[in-house]
Amino acid sequence: MAGRNAKSQAEFAERLASGPGTVDADKTLDLGSLASVRDFAEHIRGRYQTLDCVMLNAGVMNTPPGKTSDGFEVQMGTNVVGHFLLAKLLASRTRRQVWLSSTGHLLTGDPPGDHARSFENAPRINLDAIKQIDEASYDSWHRYQQSKLGDILLARQFLVEFDKLEGCAVHPGVVRTNLSRHMSVWSIAKYVWFSVTGRGAKVLTPEQGARTQTLCAVMPSGELVAGGFYADCAVSQEADAAKNMDDAKALYDYRDEATRPFQTPQA
């Protein structure tokens, strides 16, 4: 188990340790730092020869404009670039990858309820926007949409690049966590209202939100749809932009080149 904060990570590991099995949580990981990702991957490769499933689960949402320590737009850098490097460094030992995406990859406006969702018109991935940040025109929800779209595309492209790998992408639902800490009180109130009135997605507990990704982690190989997009514990519909394998290849290659200095062990 990995986390950015050693104290909270240790406290959560202690809670998990009361159940069956063991928990390894002695190494922190910050997806917003490629050096941290490289160091964590070295730690894992030094300890495990085989990884049954890598859960690419970290994420930020609707953040103010900013960049990671490596100069990437913060949502793309955390949700996609850091995950790409971790997935690539561990791919040769991994049997299955589960990428946490979102129906947010369909967004064409601000959620919830008053935005337009279109499977045909959701924006395609824009590689030029990965590092470019114009604070005057920065659209935090659009950048989130791009990052969640990127996760689906990479979940599919990794299966092309590594032929023995299994994988899929998952929408966990609208989960009550601090992921929404950058949302306004008004936006949160709208989410609650739409949920209560049945016009929007039900707000889930973290335990409920873990159901689909847990299912995808343990599902027999013959039942998992390779590169599928899962929601509510079943294969779901994704945007046309998430099916564009030319975009998936271009995104993979861009990430591969951008992270290459961190793909070798630290001297």
Active site residues: 144
Q: Is there a contact between 56 and 100 (Cβ–Cβ < 8 Å)?
A: yes
Question: How many C-beta atoms surround the C-beta of residue 150 within 10 A?
Answer: 30
H helices present in 77-198, as ranges: 82-90, 140-161, 185-196
> In the β-sheet with 229-231, what is the strand arrangement from edge to edge?
54-56, 96-100, 166-171, 229-231, 234-235
In 10 A of CB 227, how many CB atoms?
22
How far apart, in whole angstroms, are the C-alpha atoms of residue 185 and residue 204? Answer: 18
Distance CA 122, CA 17 (A): 42
